[in-house]
Structure 1
């Protein structure tokens, strides 16, 4: 048997162990008709930088599950990969080029894409190496990228399928536009934040009725340049006579009609709403209903586009100020009211987005949403925790058509081609040779690329070879569980579900395990702006990957955010050391010992107790893992190994190990080894490195721990009676230790313990446990008898069910020294009482001191008096 190092050094162990797993092909899954598959798809990290603590949590959860399932005998595939992250990566590469003094437009599309691919190679390698460090046992032979050849083929196939069914169309609709990134965004990419703003109340003159106005209120006065109507509710008596009349639109020289539409809330504001169809999604719908003109007043960079106007070319916010001042000068600005309102911002760059009408590509969502909704309502798709299904359903039940085109270079280019002779469009996998309309041979491809989520929505099946009917696709799809954060339910989960059903006819997974965010120790979200982010690799470097993993999982409940504390990492590291030191102790005693092959016949009450407790832990932990309660499972394993095994059982068996003549020694050694190896198997999914190192050192196996089978309940180790009996011993030990602590008795001072019980079964428990009970209770001798005969009158007693325990006082304490100590304590307490009484009788103190201080002194006096009473009582007893 090899020896464990004196102390556990993760930096010496982890890289070596991981390399061993990789060389042994331990993570690879193959189509295997003899095994049931279990598949997890890794949410592909973006190739925009390095992993953060959220990635560490997400991947630790997945790795723990896949290791558990692998040990249970499943053909377990954890499919890894990275996402091209269109907008985020393009911004990163563009900024990098800027730092080098290069404008991406001077490079051109092809030149820029070469730089983007270089970026991808560098950061994908970095991310994969970081995942190795965490201990991720993904099938790296199957590593995929959302823009590799296979995924690109899947994206094109999906686009063509949806286009041919009429689900994809190109049209001019109102979309979210980012003026900084200069691209369209889907609704899911817009974050609505509360911002302080104003309501500007403006008078619009009624044409032909001098001195009469319609008052509107707006948070964006500059958009009046694009107004094409004012709407009122048809049931609003105040404005019924205005319907159909014309208004003079200030600052423009145009007139606009007053229209009636039920969209208008009579009770909100003035009851009159300016309609700007090109710059508000609700106004857009009103405009379409009433065939209103759509006037776009913004350029792509959010400057004003009003040729011939003084505002033309102004920044949108500068134009706002100018418009307000001009309205004030004309006497049309009624008032300005402070207003807190929700403003849409781009989730990537934080810029306030602008609703704008632009020709874009869309996916019709109404029909595709229906089976995705039914999947949750029928129970075919389940969320853990279940309450997150409400988020999912709310999004789907209110879904709008999905804008999938992006004005970017990095991404899947839309497979649409325009004839340069007649302008007709063809959607095809490759550029057509001849135009079917005019016979022309000159084409240009659509400049836009697809939304990142369009491709990542296909991740569960495109990575397995779809649209080809591969063996891997047939065997591993549908997958089993998706592990992801609650923040991308509508970004990704929803889209994978409706895409999977639409393209394959099957749900992509049956379970969704939702986890929360990792926050700092103050509960704040980790971010660059706050500077509170913690690099997982820094934690690994200081404490090891297992300590990081354990910290992220301990107490972690599905769906809940967690706070990161360095003290918890240290506690996790301390647990690693506890397991390591216990293992070294066991190995030193096992060295050269010949253990029985079968279960020993000489098992004692202590052996049967720990084996039975182990059985219970196996059952509970397996149940927790199946229910995705990984944090609870780990808590139970830690509690068992630290408390039951290390603090109790190992201490119980030490006398047997140190006694050469004890015939139960081999049973103790066999039990130690069995419980340790089984405990390492239970702990392995969570803390794979340290468990692999200890297991391989302990057993010198032909196969590593990662290939071992998961422990199962064994009826032969179901010792319910011994469990109950041992709990009696543990309770007795706790009571004895408590009384010794109360009396300040050092562990080194041994004393007789008399166990008095008229219950034969209870007496028998102590008879059979005499040796280890003496060790645990710091007893010089344990005497079991039916009555108090021979026990000194001054013996200290403790009570447990069916027994009294007595300890002769003189054996616990040196009476003369104890008297001396108590007299000194009596003198000290008498002085404190005199001091406290003096203060409380002092009128100046009572009048000047705060009431809290006076109350504090009264409580001190009461405490000192109580303590003095106890000291006097003890002295009298002596």
Structure 2
């Protein structure tokens, strides 16, 4: 127990306690057969990343869950780690190499990997230290990186198993291609951007009907050279007669088919679609159905190759488009160019438009699709909010094979070797192809595939590969049997397909036992997107994304955590501003001051348990306010338990805030001050305060770990050498066993008195008497409620700021307000200069009447109404309503005077 300083210093407290927690092994998870297991695996952040507000939200929720589990006596572990982020890291390292005048290809694979490792070791892992500043209580002794040797073994083992089962194959397919990084990309690595483009309307001459043309629209005239057909809908009466005929591709000039396909939208553009199978996913599918020729006119870097024709060869996409448009003009084939708003997919790392490209890649046919669907539909895995189940199921119902290869070096190299000297490799011939975790014995006769695996092909194993799978000894050492399946996963809905669904399928495929033991987690909580107060998604480009470390330095980690969680409804987007964090900081200061006030109010005896505190209470001295605040505390605790069950974290913060700020500070501390001078009641009052603060601090701990740990010890609530995380927050049964139970009648009475004081203060403020404490109040109600007010008049006078409160059956000529107990009247006879007040209010009335008249005139003016924007007219109407409401209030005040 120590004296609480005058002001709370967050950084001092945070640095002290985090170091102690780590030194004492507070976060280390250990199997204990006598306890329920609880585990979380962190969504591995990019090893090159830094803390964002999204990370703050996600990791604060995880920390709340893990700290709550420890408090409830569970053996809990939160496994941290980082993702090697293949394309992202390779892009950063290649940028450094370009600055040095070299490149990855010049260095060669082995030297490049060495440089990438050096870069990672120097720049990577910053986010881990930043998470510690936030208070993340991960078991740092279990830190995993997806390129660790044992984790890499798991990734390669999974590949080999799936390959041998026929799930993995190599084939030529349409993929997202980055012309800068020269690699295939997952959909997750493609960012859609809204762009102002052009819609080109052109015409192709019908070969069998010279002089007649088919009008076609396109946004990509630079791909004309790869057209192998024009498609129309067979149900389109305009074009059905042309199906089976041909038209002339302008350049290089060639006769191409006119085909009928139901895919074509008759209402879009002209209803005729040029088909370029090598450069559009939909066109590729149409081409497959109609056995069309595939002409790839682009190099991997999106420049034009020789198949595009001599005029285009070597041009980039933008220049090729300009030339194609000019040629169409010269040939008289360009009808018009329209402005066109559309979404364009950009490479996340290369920041250039992706190119749909046919490429030889490795693909995975997903295992356990139906089982993965059933696991969620049956409730074996629960989604919070539940609405995401439909999205998940829809994706599984329409799933497509996964392109798992990437043309990069930073990552897990695909464990496939090809026999040297074989002119044409047969992928199904084991004499030509070797697949294994380790190289073939005579590896000098084999050459390994150059590609690396998609980063998601390592992270989908995260829940069990972090616990040692597939090595039996490692699984035993890392307690996979005890901690798996994990309990909760916290993630964003944007990766429900790329990560969540894949982890579920991986668990069902690779783990042993029935489905209940195979699933990777039991609950998935999907966070919302953090937006600014204008509803815009936070981003560096908009300049609306604050640096969490700067906020922590200004307001403290607890203030940030509490502020973020207070405005984060389950699964909904969060409107964030610094004022939210200021609320959290103010809450910390209020809690600090309340504990300091308690220390100054009287000696703190043995506070080390609920039993010790209750032993100081004289039950005969408990009044309705004591019982009311304890009842409110009990009710809050029960409601919070339910909120945890339903993952309603912002509801928990609001309940704790309301109890502490309103019930405890604004009311109980104020009404109990006078009782502290009564020696016979003092110890009981202080003990009730201690009970409230002890329980509040325990319930707040998962949200605000630093300040609660400090106050826990300063107030003597814990045993020497112990930590708050080891104390169960439930106290209701202990109180009941010690003879203290909830009293709803006492709570109802106190709530009525509090409402009386609140409404009385508001009434005084309305008449500019907020600071005066000599006003006279009258009260009128039924007998029972009048008795309550009379019995508590001294308390009410002090809190409401009144010289007297007189009970009256009838009152006239006084302004009034209605509260829960009855009607409160304010006597203005001695408090207000009636003449002066009438004069002041009269001037206000005249001003309002003038404003109402002018606003009415504007809204009655046809010229204004017909020309003004709708939002301006709506604003004028709202303003008029406000003026009218204010005028009615002024007239009421004048009548009362």
Find the residue that maps to 2:732 and give its secondary structure.
coil
Say which of 634, 659, 669 aligns to 1:615: 634
1:70-469 correspondence runs (5 A): 70-207=70-207, 210-233=210-233, 243-245=243-245, 247-265=247-265, 268-306=268-306, 309-365=310-366, 368-422=368-422, 423=425, 424-434=432-442, 441-469=444-472
Rounded to whole Å, the distance in 1 between the matches of 2:237 and 2:823 is: 90
Per-residue Cα deviation, 1:609-645 (whole angstroms, up to 9, x for no partner): 1111110000001111121100011110011001101
What does the per-residue CA deviation read over 1:437-470, in whole Å, with 9 as the maximum and x for residues that have no partner? xxxx421111110111111111111111112342
Hey, what does 2:799 align to over in structure 1?
776
Q: Distance in 2 between matches of 1:39 and 1:841?
A: 67
CA change 1:229–1:534 in 2 (3 A) is same
Match of 1:651 among 646, 670, 686: 670
Decide whether aligned partners of structure 1 residues 795 and 834 sit closer, same or farther in structure 2, where only a CA change above 3 A counts. Answer: closer
Q: Using the alignment, how far apart are the partners of 2:381 and 2:73 within structure 1?
A: 24
Structure 1, 200-209 or 373-382: larger mean CA deviation: 200-209
**Change in 2 beyond 3 A, CA 1:411/1:654:** same
Report the Cα offset of residue 106 of structure 1: 2.7
Tell me: CA distance 1:358–1:646, structure 2 relative to 1, closer, same or farther (3 Å): same
1:775–1:434 distance in 2 versus 1, CA, 3 Å = same
The alpha-carbon deviation at position 530 of structure 1 amounts to 1.8
In 1, Cα distance between equivalents of 2:316 and 2:662: 67
Deviation at 1:209, TM superposition (A): 5.3
- Structure-2 separation of matches of 1:835 and 1:293: 80
Question: 1:681–1:558: structure 2 CA closer, same or farther, 3 Å change rule?
Answer: same
Q: Distance in 1 between matches of 2:837 and 2:290?
A: 94
Question: Contact (CA 8 Å) 2:467, 2:480: kept in 1 or not?
Answer: yes
**Is 2:520 aligned against 1:525?**
no
Task: Find the aligned partners of 2:780 and 2:249 in 1 and give their Cα distance.
Answer: 101
1:503: how far off?
Answer: 1.8
Correspondence for 2:752 among 712, 715, 728 = 728
1:479 corresponds to 2:479? no
| Counterparts in 2 of 1:869 and 1:263: CA distance versus 1, 3 Å | closer
Of residues 324-333 and 745-754 in structure 1, the stretch that sits farther from structure 2 once superposed is 745-754
The one of 507, 510, 514 aligned to 2:526: 514
Give, in angstroms, the shift of residue 482 of structure 1. 1.1
Q: Secondary structure in 2 aligned to 1:483?
A: strand
Tell which deviates more after alignment, 322-331 or 619-628: 322-331
Q: Deviations over 1:8-46 (max 9, x none)?
A: 111211111111111121111111111111122211110
Change (3 A) 1:319 1:544: same
Answer yes or no: is the 8 Å Cα contact 2:80–2:138 preserved in 1. Answer: yes
Q: Could you tell me the TM-score, scaled by structure 1's length?
A: 0.88
| Range 733-742 or range 858-867, more displaced | 858-867
> Alignment partner of 1:709: what SS?
coil
- Are the aligned partners of 1:619 and 1:712 in contact in 2 as well (CA < 8 Å)? no
Whether the 8 Å CA contact 2:176–2:184 is kept in 1: the answer is yes
Q: Offset of 1:257 from its aligned partner? A: 3.8
Question: Which runs of structure 2 are paired with 1:559-638 in the superposition (5 Å)?
Answer: 559-591=571-603, 597=615, 599-601=617-619, 602-638=621-657
100 and 599 in structure 1: CA distance in 2 versus 1, 3 angstrom threshold: farther
In 2, distance between residues paired with 1:304 and 1:73?
65
1:56 & 1:856 partners in 2: Cα distance?
40
Indicate the larger mover: 266-275 or 673-682.
Answer: 266-275
> In the TM superposition, what is the alpha-carbon distance from 1:280 to its structure 2 partner?
1.9
Residue 567 of structure 2 corresponds to which residue in structure 1?
A: 555
Aligned-residue offset at 1:294? 2.2
Quote the Cα distance in structure 1 between the aligned partners of 2:649 and 2:878. 48
TM-score normalised per structure 2: 0.86
Task: Determine the C-alpha separation between the residues in 2 that align with 1:854 and 1:117.
Answer: 64
Q: List per-residue Cα deviations over 1:149-174 (Å, max 9, x = no partner).
A: 12111101110111111111011111
What is the CA deviation profile of residues 192-244 of structure 1, one whole-angstrom value per residue up to 9, with x for unaligned ones? Answer: 44433344344444556544555443332222322333444556666666555
> Which segments of 5 or more consecutive residues in structure 1 lack a partner in the other structure?
436-440
Deviation at 1:279, TM superposition (A): 1.6
The question of whether the paired residues in 1 share the 8 Å contact of 2:82 and 2:125 is answered with: no
Whole-angstrom distance in 1 between the partners of 2:270 and 2:892: 78
Deviation string 1:752-778 (CA, Å, 9 cap, x unpaired) is 9898988579747854x5664554344
The alpha-carbon deviation at position 350 of structure 1 amounts to: 3.1
Contact 2:227 2:277 in 1 (8 A): yes
Instruction: Report the equivalent of 1:48.
Output: 48
Is the CA contact (8 Å cut-off) linking 2:813 and 2:896 kept in structure 1?
Answer: no
Distance 1:252 1:679 in 2: 78
Cα distance in 2, alignment partners of residues 516 and 870 from structure 1: 47
Aligned equivalents of 2:522, 2:458: Cα separation in 1: 21
Q: What displacement does 1:793 show?
A: 11
Cα distance 1:165–1:605, how it changes in 2: closer, same or farther (>3 A)? Answer: same
Query: How many angstroms does 1:63 deviate by?
Result: 0.7
Matched, 1:718 2:718: no
TM-superposed deviation, 1:335: 4.3
Distance 1:35 1:300 in 2: 57
**Counterpart Cα distance in 2 of 1:241 and 1:287:** 21
Question: Deviation per CA, 1:489-513, whole angstroms, max 9, x where unpaired?
Answer: 2222122122222222522112211
Quote the Cα distance in structure 2 between the aligned partners of 1:859 and 1:757.
Answer: 32
Identify the range of structure 1 (114-123 vs 730-739) with the bigger mean alpha-carbon deviation: 730-739
* Separation in 2, partners of 1:526, 1:867: 44
Deviation for aligned residue 1:119: 2.6
Question: Which residue of the partner structure matches residue 488 of structure 1?
Answer: 495
Find 1:689's aligned residue among 701, 706, 709: 706
Q: Secondary structure at the match of 1:173?
A: strand
2:429 aligns to what? Answer: none
Work out whether residues 655 and 771 of structure 1, in 8 Å CA contact, stay in contact via their aligned partners in 2.
no
Change (3 A) 1:793 1:536: closer
1:705 to 2:724 alignment: yes
* Cα pair distance change 1:252/1:733, threshold 3 Å: closer
Q: Please report how far the alpha carbon of residue 561 of structure 1 lies from its aligned counterpart in structure 2 after TM superposition.
A: 1.5
Alignment partner, residue 438 of structure 1: none
> Cα 1:623–1:328, aligned 2, differ >3 Å: closer, same or farther?
same
Residues 134-190 of structure 1 show CA distances to partners (whole Å, capped at 9, x for unaligned) of 011111111111111121111011101111111110111111111011100123433
- The verdict on how the C-alpha distance between 1:581 and 1:310 changes in structure 2, with shifts beyond 3 A counting, is same
Residues 733 and 861 (structure 1), Cα distance of their counterparts in 2 relative to 1, 3 Å cut = closer
**1:295 offset after TM fit, Å?**
2.0
Q: Distance in 1 between matches of 2:879 and 2:486?
A: 64
Runs (5+) with no aligned partner, structure 2? 426-431, 607-612, 866-872
CA offsets per residue over residues 361-419 of structure 1, 9 Å max, x none? 00113x54322222232232222112222222232222211111001111111001111
Query: How many Å apart are 1:47 and its aligned residue?
Result: 1.5
Distance 2:816 2:162 in 1: 82
Report the 3-state secondary structure (helix = DSSP H, G, I; strand = E; otherwise coil) of the residue aligned with 1:172: strand
Q: Is the 8 A contact 1:729 1:766 kept in 2?
A: no
> Relative to 1, partners in 2 of residues 1:833 and 1:336: Cα closer, same or farther, differing over 3 Å?
closer
